[in-house]
Structure formats: C-alpha cells, structure tokens
Structure 1
Amino acid sequence: MLKIFNTLTRKKDFFFSVCSKKINMYVCGITVYDSCHIGHGRTFTIFDVILKYFKHCQYKVKYVRNITDIDDKIIQKSRINKENIYSLTQRMISNMLYDFKKLGITLPQYQPRATNHINTIIYMIEKLLKNKHAYIAKNGDVVFSISSYLNYGSFSNQSLKKLKYFNNIDLSNIKRDRKDFILWKKQVCLDDPCWKSPWGYGRPGWHIECSAINYDYFLNNIDIHGGGIDLLFPHHENERAQSICFHNTQYGHFWIHVGMLLVKNKKMSKSLNNALILKKILKIYNSEVVRYFFLSTHYRSPLYYSQENLEKSKNALIKLYFILYTSMLKDKVLTTNILYQYNNKFSICFYSALNDDFNIPKALSILFQLERKIQFYLKYDNVILANQLAYQLKYLANIIGLLDQDPINFLNQCHFFCTSYSLQQHDNYIIDIIRKRNIARKYKLWEKADKLRDKLYALNVIFQDTKDGTLWKNRYF
C-alpha cells in the first residue's frame, strides 16, 4: 500500500483519495517571465513520475498545473524587453512546454492561467472581506489579516515572532501587520495591466490565484497539492490560510514538496544569478540523462548539480541501455511475457520502493540488479531468460519514464560505440578483423565473413552493422 510523506502531518501517511480510484492533483506551476531553469525541471519531473505511477496503478488522475501569467517580475521583464506582456508570457509558455516535452513530462490535463480566473479571485476576496479575514489597506490594496487565522505559521512550522520578512519596504503605515499579505493590488501605474474590481482597477496577488483555480477545478476536494519546498513559505502557508478561511474547513489532504536543487551548495535562483537554464543543459545532454539525474536522489532531499553528477547519470543509463542492446543482438524481438513481470522478486521490490514515499533511487537500484542478472544469463547463453528479464527491465523503467528510446540511437548519441574508422582510439586487432569482415561482406564472401564474425564473438565483441560503419563494443564492462 502506498505511503506518502505528508508535509501537513510531517510523517508518512497511507494514501487515500476522496473518490476511490480517482485523484485530484494540483501542482503549483511557473511564473512565466523567463526560461525554465533545471530546478523547475526537477520539480515537474518528480510530479510526472508520481502521475505516471498513479496511472500505472489504474487511478484516474485529474491533474492541474497553473501558470502565473501576471506578476511584478513579468511586468518588469516586459518593460526591460519593451515587449507586450501577453507576447512575453505566450513565448515563455511555449518554451516551457518544449522543454518539458523533451524531458518526457506528460502534459497536464489542465494548465489554467491566473488571468482566466479573475472573477473567482474577486468572489473569494469579497467573502474574505465580509468575514473579516481581509481588509482594505491605506494605499487601496486588499490585504489578508494573518491574525484572523489562529494557526498561521503552523503548516510551515514557524513561529510568528520569528518570521522573516520578504519585503524590505516598510509598510507598517499601510498594513495593520507587516506580515499581512496582498490579495488584490491596486493599480499604480496607468500602463500596468489591470482588471476592474469592487476596490478599483488592479490585479490579483500571487497566493490567491492558486486558491481560486483550485476552487474552480476541485471546489475543495484536493487529494494532492504539490510544489517545490521553496513554496512552503510564504506561498503555501498563505494559500492554505486564505483557503481555510474561505471554505471554513480543511484544505488539501496530502501536501508533497520537492527538495531544492543546489549549485555549489547554494539554492539555485534567478535572483542569485546562478540559475542554469534547462534548455541549455538539454542541448548538451540527452534528455533522458537529465531526467535520470533529476531522479537519482530522493525527491525530498536536495539535489546537487555538477557536471560530474550528470556524467554519472549518463554512464548509469548507458549501462542499462547497453544490456538492452546486448539482448537485442541475441534476439531482435524482446519476449513480451506479461505474466513473468508480475511474478518475481524484481517487480515486487520495484513496486515496494515506489510505494514507500516514491523512493525512486531505490527503484533504480532494482533496475541495476536486473541488469546484472541479464549479464549472468547472457554469459551462460541462457537467451530466453535473459530476454525475458530485458523485457521486464524496460517495462519497469518505462513506469518512471526511462529506457524509452531505441538503445542504438541512445548509445550513439552518448558516443558509446566506436566505428571501424576510429583506428587511433581502439584496439587495432579488433579493428582489423572488422575491416576484413566488411571487405568480405562487400564482395559477398559470406563464408569468410562468418568466420570473422565468429572470431569477434570469441573475443567477446558485440557489434552492429549500420550505414555509417560497424559499431562495436566489448560485451562486459
């Protein structure tokens, strides 16, 4: 049975959904003022695995991931670019979708933009004002009063007295409490985007959009609410406070937070000028290598970025793809024995790892146990068992979005194979045999070519003839 670490209870809880076999999942999306960085890539890859696993377990998932398309940063960026806000956000959304598709991230069922939910936002603010959970500040902003919600700070486990302020501007003469947060921001500059409201022209604050979108899609029946750990405070603390005050009941059953991605032991952030753009990394490494890197550490733990760790991820995937390639050489069509995959210890251990708070690194270790077992069977020419396990390896890896590419294409992209023309980098003896075999094949001297082929097999060389030459590699590492 699946257990998930619930930020709300600070422990692993057995998962349940409001409706059997139906899950409402909401994940806080991106503020689209710039290209996605690899921290975004990690967060949404994790939730993609969660989505894939639920679907694999026959759940019907209603998955919503919002898009913040109005914000101070967006307005500032549009001014710097001298670009229309709609044009900027549309371009950034297109870039985001391209990057995520390349990473193999499934498109959410719904991707609502904040600006499409203004009416609901206004409705919620009106009710919060009516019930004395909000007030109109001296500058015309509508502000949530944290003193009206007695449990404020408990979700992120913070004391109100020790809360850090995220705004250096002294607003004590405008708000009742400096920690109160904005629900509706009154228009200041005439060229700022704005919407008509009962409190004059303005735009929504950041936190209220998620409450409104959840209300529109789920009312208040959210099974899973997720995002990066950096959103726990203030965003999720504020969102929960205003939603509980609006609904007058609990808000969200399971809260999942993904750990930070660190660069040189510092949080990666555009404001710290150390953000690594996802698109640039995907140009250097195969997308599945990047995905593996995101999955290589438990989702709640920090992930340390380095080129060395990306190379380790690449080499790990090469090992798995190579054993699939080896099995394909023995039998071009992998055996699809469906019953076999459900009835051995590898599948049981793999599912057990994912059921334990989505322990993906442990699930990956099961894949390498399979890889070693396939090597063992190939060594003793037990092709049938090796082939069955190779199918199982691919089947299990596909659940978390790995081993989805053609092995030869992947290995070629990673420059794993060498061709018969790269003489200086490889064993001249093997190269010479391959050269002679290619000549024999060219002149249709099949008997001689077969003898040279058998000689390569005796040397534990695996090879594949392609239009670009003969790809080869020693069978075992």
Structure 2
Amino acid sequence: MALRFYNTLTSSVEEFVPLDGKNVKMYVCGPTVYDNCHMGHARSYIVFDVIRRYLKHKGYNVIYVQNFTDIDDKIIKRANELGADPLNLSKKFIQAYFEDMDKLNVMRADQHPKVSDHIGEIIKMIEKLIDHGNAYVSDGSVYFSIDSMKSEIGVLSHQSYDALKVGARLEVDERKRNPMDFVLWKASKPGEMIAWDSPWGKGRPGWHIECSAMAIKLLGEKIDIHGGGMDLIFPHHESEIMQSEAYTNKPPFAKYWIHNGFLTINKEKMSKSLGNFFTIKEVLNKFSPETIRFFVLFTHYQSPLDFSDMGLEEAKRSLYRIQNTLSEIDNRIAKPRPEMALISADEVSGRLKESLEKFESAMNDNFNTREAIAEMFDFTRDVNRWLSSGDMPVERWEKIKDLYTTYSEILGIRWTVVSEDVMTTELLKLIVDIREEVRKKKDFETSDLIRNRLKELGILLEDSKEGVKIKRIES
C-alpha cells in the first residue's frame, strides 16, 4: 500500500510522490523562543517527529529543517521586562527547547537555523521582491503587496479574499497600500534594543519572511513537505507561499502541506493568551516522556487533542501493558518453560508478518498512529496468550522483541522494561483504587480490611481531603 496523507493545499488525501525520487525535503516551523515550550509545542513536534521517522522507515532520505524564531516582538517585550538582551534570552530558551525535546525523544533536525543568522539572506530576498514589484518601502519599513499575488490568496485556508479580510485582525496602518499587506522589514522604533542595518534603514525582519528565506537557503526553491500547527495556515503559511513564489517564480513552493490539530483544555485551544497552558517541564514532573508521547500519538494528528491528567493516566496504564509484556518476555528468555506446549514457528512468524503489515497499513493511511497503536495492542494480546499457554525457542522470542523495537523506532516510544519496584507501585495503586470503589459503596468493613492488611505489610494508608496518602512504615 502506497503512503497517502492529507494535503492542506488540495484539501484531499493524496499519494506521496516526492519531487526527487527517494529524497524528501521537509521544513517545519519551529517555536518563537521567549518562554519554555508548552504542551501544544510537544504535540506538534512529536507528530512531525513520527512523520519523519516513518518516512525514514519507508526508505526515504529525509532532510529535515526546523527553525527558531529568535527575533520577534514577543521576545523583545519579554527581554525589556527582564532587562535582558533579546538574543541572549532567545539562546536560553533554545537550550530549554532542546532539553525538553531530548527528553521526549524528538530527534533533532538536520539543521536548526536561527533568524538572527540569516539576516543577509532575508534582506536579499526582500530586495528582489521590491525589484519584482511585489513589495514596497514605506516610512523605513517594507511591506508585501497582497494585490501583486491575488491569485494565491486563500490557497491553504480555502477562503476568499473578502472572507479572509473580514476574519483578519487588521490594525489601521496608513503606511500600507492595502490593509492586508504584511510587513517584510520593520523599521526600528526609538529605544529598541536590537536592529540591523538595511537599504531601508535600521530594523528587523517580519515574521513571515524569515521561514521563506531559511527554507529556500537550506532546502532550495521547491520543497516536498511543509508542516506546522493548524493555527499557522493563515496568515503565516499563506504569506510564505505568496512571498516565496513571487521570489522564485517557480510554484508551488511546497508540494504538500501538513498541519496538526490543536491541543485543547476543556475543548478550548491551549494558548498563553488564554492562560490555560502547561509547559512541557511541568508535565514531565508528573509523567514520563513515554507516557506523553503515547498520549499524543493515540489521537490522530489532525484531530483536536484534549489535554488532561486523566488522559495521561490512561495513557500511562496502556503503556504499562506493553512494558509489562516485554518484561515477561525477558523473564521467559531468562527462565524457559520446556514443560509447556511449544508455540508453532508458523503461527509466530505469520502473526509477526501480519502485525507489521497492519501497522504499516495504518501509517500509510494518513499517518494514523491511533490505528497503528491499536494493532500493537492486538499483537500484544497474542503475545500474552503465547506467554500463558506455551513456550518457544529464545530466537523466536527475540524476533517478537525485534518487532516491538521497530514500532519503538517509528513511534519514538522507548519500551522501558518494568522493574519490580515499578510493578509493586502499580499494584499498590490498583489496591488503593479498589478500596476507594469499595468505600463509595459504603462497604467499610472491606475497606478497613484492606487498610489493615496493608498496614501489616508495612504500608500505611491515610485518608485526607486531598485523597489517599500512601506511606511506608519504618521498621
């Protein structure tokens, strides 16, 4: 089955045919680094990490570029509040980004360009756009003329010019010929801490031009895949298309556009402006990186994903099932059970082949990680049946582990083998949960029995308003 996925540009699921054989050029918009990354960032970069991993699994040579916006109004505002140098502040949060993503097992891009390192390319691009009549200078700033590329307006959002104009939040700016024109170069304001010389005076780049300049510099004038969150479709990605194609005169700038859905809190988009966001660091204090990746990937990348501790707890329990199965395989390899029935080689090899085919079929169908994971659980049920009903030679158990390794490499989820301490903790939590259910039914005799038996084992349960506290009794 060929790989097919949804292309925002055409609003349809298409077969993936790269521009150059097995070579794939992929650009994903990176963060604006003025604070620690939140879980919305985690979702997006985990999604594109898996897309990249799967393309490599399929034998493609992927060149992956993800930028850092280290010059921006938000960065300057935050730097002013802290009395810090904007570029030093950006550098700090770039390092924080790598710390978070390394923990989440998000592979680093082949290149992570920064805007501040590409001012020269940005200025040259703007100069050419002015020469082509696609941009104009006004009061020290440079604006892209929407009217010069009207045919490209709405190509990703699939809305008319009038609809976009009504929906856009447009500030009155007499320097613009058209209220929809967007800035390519911002003239410096008095007292601003950061600026570069340009043919139009001191200033800094606008947001949209940065990605076009870096993508063209590092990947060329035409790329295979451009990705990002759905919130970037308009105006950011549509602006990229207009300025890039005006610059190169070689449409399309990107053949395929992929956008992941929002991360929500109580059905509202997670965002700093709404104050309903959680940083990756905060969530990593409570849940493992593997749990977070599993939580993200058990929802299709285009669908909204509602964030909650309950959802993460469920992901943790689901992940534990696979971790426990792998632990049991290791135990069986260490202590074979020759007295048990021998599982046939044909049954095992056939199921291994079938599982991989079903997993890949799900991934080939618009990167459907939810269905791929569902197959992984179906396979795990069969493995558990083999463990309970029979045995097999070590090399056959190793082949089963190899398939889990393949799934791990594609999904980026590391199957941490469950230790006895982890198993004990999980069993204790289960007992506490059962006791809570018993108490809800007002069966206090059984509830007290559970608590007293645990106390005999050196474990004290304390009921409080915050919930049940578990303590070990020191001997």
Say if 2:240 is the partner of 1:239.
yes
Tell me which residue corresponds to 2:98: 97
Identify which of 399, 410, 424 aligns with 2:410: 399
- Residues 325-336 of structure 1 mapped to structure 2, 5 A cutoff: 325-332=327-334
Aligned-partner Cα distance in 1 for 2:392–2:452: 28
Relative to structure 1, the CA distance from residue 204 to residue 322 in structure 2 (aligned partners, 3 Å threshold; closer, same or farther) is same
Relative to structure 1, the CA distance from residue 425 to residue 100 in structure 2 (aligned partners, 3 Å threshold; closer, same or farther) is farther
Identify which of 251, 266, 269 aligns with 2:268: 266
Tell me which residue corresponds to 2:277: 275
Say if 2:324 is the partner of 1:322.
yes
* Contact 2:4-2:364 within 8 A present in 1 as well: yes
Secondary structure at the aligned position of 1:223 is classed as strand
Aligned-partner Cα distance in 1 for 2:361–2:350: 14
Relative to structure 1, the CA distance from residue 200 to residue 374 in structure 2 (aligned partners, 3 Å threshold; closer, same or farther) is same
* Contact 2:352-2:400 within 8 A present in 1 as well: no
- Residues 214-225 of structure 1 mapped to structure 2, 5 A cutoff: 214-225=215-226
Aligned-partner Cα distance in 1 for 2:399–2:248: 53
Q: CA deviation at 1:155?
A: 2.1
Say if 2:389 is the partner of 1:380.
yes
Q: CA deviation at 1:325?
A: 1.1
- Residues 119-198 of structure 1 mapped to structure 2, 5 A cutoff: 119-137=120-138, 139-151=139-151, 152-163=153-164, 164=166, 166-167=168-169, 169-171=171-173, 173-198=174-199
Aligned-partner Cα distance in 2 for 1:55–1:387: 23
Identify which of 336, 352, 364 aligns with 2:373: 364
Secondary structure at the aligned position of 1:61 is classed as strand
Relative to structure 1, the CA distance from residue 333 to residue 279 in structure 2 (aligned partners, 3 Å threshold; closer, same or farther) is farther
Aligned-partner Cα distance in 1 for 2:335–2:43: 34
Relative to structure 1, the CA distance from residue 341 to residue 333 in structure 2 (aligned partners, 3 Å threshold; closer, same or farther) is farther
* Contact 2:25-2:62 within 8 A present in 1 as well: yes
Amino acid across the alignment from 2:232: L
Relative to structure 1, the CA distance from residue 308 to residue 208 in structure 2 (aligned partners, 3 Å threshold; closer, same or farther) is same
- Residues 419-438 of structure 1 mapped to structure 2, 5 A cutoff: none
Relative to structure 1, the CA distance from residue 425 to residue 2 in structure 2 (aligned partners, 3 Å threshold; closer, same or farther) is farther
Identify which of 416, 422, 426 aligns with 1:412: 422
Say if 2:5 is the partner of 1:4.
yes
Amino acid across the alignment from 1:408: S
Aligned-partner Cα distance in 2 for 1:50–1:42: 12
Tell me which residue corresponds to 1:107: 108
- Residues 202-213 of structure 1 mapped to structure 2, 5 A cutoff: 202-213=203-214
Amino acid across the alignment from 2:70: D
Aligned-partner Cα distance in 2 for 1:367–1:62: 29
* Contact 1:367-1:397 within 8 A present in 2 as well: no
Aligned-partner Cα distance in 2 for 1:211–1:414: 53
Relative to structure 1, the CA distance from residue 15 to residue 284 in structure 2 (aligned partners, 3 Å threshold; closer, same or farther) is same
Q: CA deviation at 1:391?
A: 4.0
Tell me which residue corresponds to 2:463: none
Aligned-partner Cα distance in 2 for 1:303–1:289: 15
Aligned-partner Cα distance in 1 for 2:335–2:33: 44
Identify which of 351, 354, 370 aligns with 2:360: 351
Aligned-partner Cα distance in 2 for 1:225–1:130: 27
Aligned-partner Cα distance in 2 for 1:49–1:115: 29
Q: CA deviation at 1:340?
A: 4.3
* Contact 1:53-1:399 within 8 A present in 2 as well: yes
Amino acid across the alignment from 1:74: I
Tell me which residue corresponds to 2:442: none
Amino acid across the alignment from 1:45: I
Relative to structure 1, the CA distance from residue 122 to residue 30 in structure 2 (aligned partners, 3 Å threshold; closer, same or farther) is same
Relative to structure 1, the CA distance from residue 129 to residue 315 in structure 2 (aligned partners, 3 Å threshold; closer, same or farther) is same
Identify which of 283, 303, 309 aligns with 1:301: 303
Unaligned runs of 5+ in 2: 337-344, 433-448, 458-471
* Contact 1:4-1:357 within 8 A present in 2 as well: yes
Say if 2:258 is the partner of 1:256.
yes
Aligned-partner Cα distance in 1 for 2:424–2:23: 40
Amino acid across the alignment from 1:27: V
Tell me which residue corresponds to 1:52: 53
- TM-score scaled to structure 1, two decimals? 0.83
Q: CA deviation at 1:154?
A: 2.5
* Contact 2:144-2:182 within 8 A present in 1 as well: yes
Map Cα deviations across residues 325-355 of structure 1 (whole Å, 9 max, x no partner).
1121111399xx9x94896211110111111
- TM-score scaled to structure 2, two decimals? 0.84
Tell me which residue corresponds to 1:32: 33
Tell me which residue corresponds to 2:467: none
Aligned-partner Cα distance in 2 for 1:331–1:22: 41
Aligned-partner Cα distance in 2 for 1:58–1:426: 56
Aligned-partner Cα distance in 2 for 1:125–1:333: 69
Secondary structure at the aligned position of 1:185 is classed as strand
Aligned-partner Cα distance in 2 for 1:9–1:414: 52
Q: CA deviation at 1:397?
A: 3.2
Q: CA deviation at 1:19?
A: 1.9
Relative to structure 1, the CA distance from residue 19 to residue 342 in structure 2 (aligned partners, 3 Å threshold; closer, same or farther) is farther
Secondary structure at the aligned position of 1:35 is classed as coil
Report % sequence identity: 36
* Contact 1:165-1:179 within 8 A present in 2 as well: no
Amino acid across the alignment from 1:180: D
Aligned-partner Cα distance in 2 for 1:216–1:330: 54
Secondary structure at the aligned position of 2:285 is classed as helix
Aligned-partner Cα distance in 2 for 1:269–1:341: 47
Secondary structure at the aligned position of 1:416 is classed as helix
RMSD in angstroms over aligned alpha carbons? Answer: 2.7
Q: CA deviation at 1:401?
A: 1.1
Q: CA deviation at 1:428?
A: 6.0
Tell me which residue corresponds to 2:441: none
Q: CA deviation at 1:390?
A: 4.4
Aligned-partner Cα distance in 1 for 2:364–2:290: 23
Relative to structure 1, the CA distance from residue 148 to residue 397 in structure 2 (aligned partners, 3 Å threshold; closer, same or farther) is same
Aligned-partner Cα distance in 2 for 1:332–1:135: 73
